[in-house]
Chains A and B, each alone.
Chain A
């Protein structure tokens, strides 16, 4: 028999808002829907409820009761991301889950008996996991969706309905629990029915004759029969977090403060699924209208918030949005974090995730062209070089001895080459002068050696090189529209 768990987040619009702005938890806050005179409360915090604010009151009525009430509009972005976060938590318990509605999720827990000592432990773990992402949830477990949902709605969470005990569980509950929007409630009350059990005791055909198909379904539900199957949802291709702001932001630091919290939530969700962020897409809603969309490619999948935040800062500093920001959304394109194979007898391998994070932070600190793998370049001029992405091969399985060094003299290349003044006597060098510390009489020199690149061009790069020994060092110099020192032998 299939066993289903239902996770419900009571007052979901409020819970979603508090997940984004947890500092409002202790305030008198009301979530309102609608504008102007039509604005009405849909949910309120405990402090506001204690003063008499409840769902259905207009904002004007609420303010007359409590002038200092903080009102926030429903935030579709917040609610969507909270729902996604809830789904992802549910997916850590079972791959078969159904997205029923805002703040309501069904989880097929059949086959999870070996992972938890009891269903109550599973339900408690699910509640704890929801708390971990900032969503206070209730949980009910039963053999049908209806019973599981009603069990989850009860205040004493978690509620476990025994296998086959659905009818018995439902019997004492009031009829309104079957469906809050029950149109036939008044009719049933006129019949003198108050509990679900009383409806279940009536003959099915009689109820169907009087109330039609709806009556038959109600009777089934009252007997704990719910033939609706679980409809599993497909895995989303990306992870999204964002929110609409109460007022437009014009400075970078306040935006980064809010973005930090959103990225923190995003990475927690990625971690739950065993993913890391490979590419971060950012959409800014601008005032009065318009969007600014941009994407940041990460060197390797990472979950490091600091790195992502630094890259966002650099991106925004490089190209400002050009208008105040009214809202934002981050979309993380997930990828599996790279894993290193530990070696017992060879050199230790670098952690790919740690390496990617460090390289991203170094790039954000120094610039993209200043961190990478050195590469040789075909050519003739000695100062040529290239730098590429650092992606080292795995270390050898067994330690091996290093190759014997050839003991080559290294040339410290000057980038850019330093202009110098050369004093010559006939063909011999006499002295070298410069604004820096390349000064002195030439002791020994050798050359010239000719090097040319771009011979097919109209003006090929042709240079004549010499090695010169001064009292304070040995240099490589060349002539090409002037004299330059491009390396010191060191």
Chain B
């Protein structure tokens, strides 16, 4: 095997590998992790655990030495929580656009640079700026495929249409509190249900339950 063939084979092997989020129920739902070269859309309304999943995916990728990007339309990131989650902040590029159009443009530019994980968090409803044409998502899907980039789009409602490989729907169950009676109450965590509403190669309708804990509860 020549060096060129070896490099091509390793590149293909790398593209076939999944990018785990290390949230076991979610990885099981995705077949092992986020697929490289594809768009996974995560939709969910208020407090549905979308941002917690986004941070977990970023923490997992950067801790493995991969370069990752967060395009943070709502400017919501708290670097302290992300670092506490195990992320290597030096490998994360944080982009804070002000409109959805700029956000999609930024994702397209940055994906073409060769980042292994690109996450677009569209923030809260209503989304800033005009709705993005479906053609833009198709273009993003092509860029992701060409570069072998795993792309996670987190939105308050489904937006990517036919461009996404998998669409997940996040539903908040209830936050968990500790303490009752006269003892002080503390927010301890959150339970989130995730359902697959679209999958190009597997059956839809499967679901999983994720448990998140607050930093205070985790350090107690």
The docked-state distance in angstroms from the alpha carbon of A354 to that of B105 is 16
Name which residue of chain B comes closest to A444, CB basis.
B177
CB atoms of B7 and A350 under 8 A apart: no
CB atoms of B67 and A474 under 8 A apart: no
Q: Is B63 positioned at the interface, with any CB of A under 8 Å from its CB?
A: yes
A412 to chain B, nearest CB (A): 4
* Contact (A365, B218) CB under 8 Å given A358-B109, A411-B81, A415-B75: no
CB atoms of A410 and B113 under 8 A apart: no
Which of B65, B172, B187 has a CB less than 8 Å from the CB of A395? B65
B208 to chain A, nearest CB (A): 13
The docked-state distance in angstroms from the alpha carbon of A384 to that of B166 is 35
The docked-state distance in angstroms from the alpha carbon of A141 to that of B46 is 77
Give residues of chain A (358-389) contacting chain B, Cβ–Cβ below 8 Å: 358-359, 361-362, 365-366, 370-377, 382-387
- Chain A residues in 8 Å Cβ range of B186: 446, 467
The docked-state distance in angstroms from the alpha carbon of A242 to that of B54 is 48
CB atoms of B67 and A347 under 8 A apart: yes
The docked-state distance in angstroms from the alpha carbon of A375 to that of B23 is 24
The docked-state distance in angstroms from the alpha carbon of A342 to that of B3 is 13
Q: Is B77 positioned at the interface, with any CB of A under 8 Å from its CB?
A: yes
CB atoms of A351 and B113 under 8 A apart: yes
Q: How many residues of A contact B (CB 8 A)?
A: 66
The docked-state distance in angstroms from the alpha carbon of A490 to that of B44 is 10
* Contact (A446, B22) CB under 8 Å given A347-B67, A370-B95, A409-B212: no
- Chain B residues in 8 Å Cβ range of A359: 93
* Contact (A370, B93) CB under 8 Å given A344-B6, A412-B124, A490-B48: no
Interface string of A227-267 (1 = CB under 8 A from B): 00000000000000000000000000000000000000000
CB atoms of B91 and A351 under 8 A apart: no
B126 to chain A, nearest CB (A): 9
Which of B6, B64, B187, B213 has a CB less than 8 Å from the CB of A402? B64
Name which residue of chain B comes closest to A359, CB basis.
B93
Which of A355, A377, A406, A488 has a CB less than 8 Å from the CB of B113? A355
- Chain A residues in 8 Å Cβ range of B202: none
Q: Is B157 positioned at the interface, with any CB of A under 8 Å from its CB?
A: no
* Contact (A407, B106) CB under 8 Å given A373-B93, A415-B75: no
The docked-state distance in angstroms from the alpha carbon of A474 to that of B48 is 10
* Contact (A344, B10) CB under 8 Å given A366-B96, A393-B90, A405-B85: yes
Q: Is B119 positioned at the interface, with any CB of A under 8 Å from its CB?
A: no
CB atoms of B47 and A405 under 8 A apart: no
CB atoms of B77 and A385 under 8 A apart: yes
* Contact (A374, B63) CB under 8 Å given A366-B102, A405-B86, A407-B213: no
Which of A366, A374, A409, A490 has a CB less than 8 Å from the CB of B79? A374
- Chain A residues in 8 Å Cβ range of B86: 403-406
Q: What are 22 A-B interface contacts by the 8 Å CB criterion?
A: A366-B98, A366-B106, A370-B98, A371-B96, A382-B78, A382-B80, A384-B80, A385-B77, A392-B90, A393-B91, A400-B64, A402-B60, A403-B86, A407-B52, A407-B210, A407-B213, A437-B46, A437-B125, A445-B185, A474-B190, A490-B47, A490-B49
**A contact residues vs B (CB 8 Å cutoff):** 342, 344-348, 350-351, 354-355, 358-359, 361-362, 365-366, 370-377, 382-387, 390-393, 395-396, 399-415, 437, 444-446, 467, 469, 472-474, 487-490
**18 further interface pairs, Cβ-Cβ under 8 Å (given A371-B95, A405-B22):** A344-B6, A347-B65, A350-B67, A358-B112, A371-B94, A375-B79, A385-B80, A392-B67, A401-B64, A402-B60, A403-B59, A404-B86, A407-B52, A410-B52, A411-B78, A413-B75, A472-B47, A488-B47
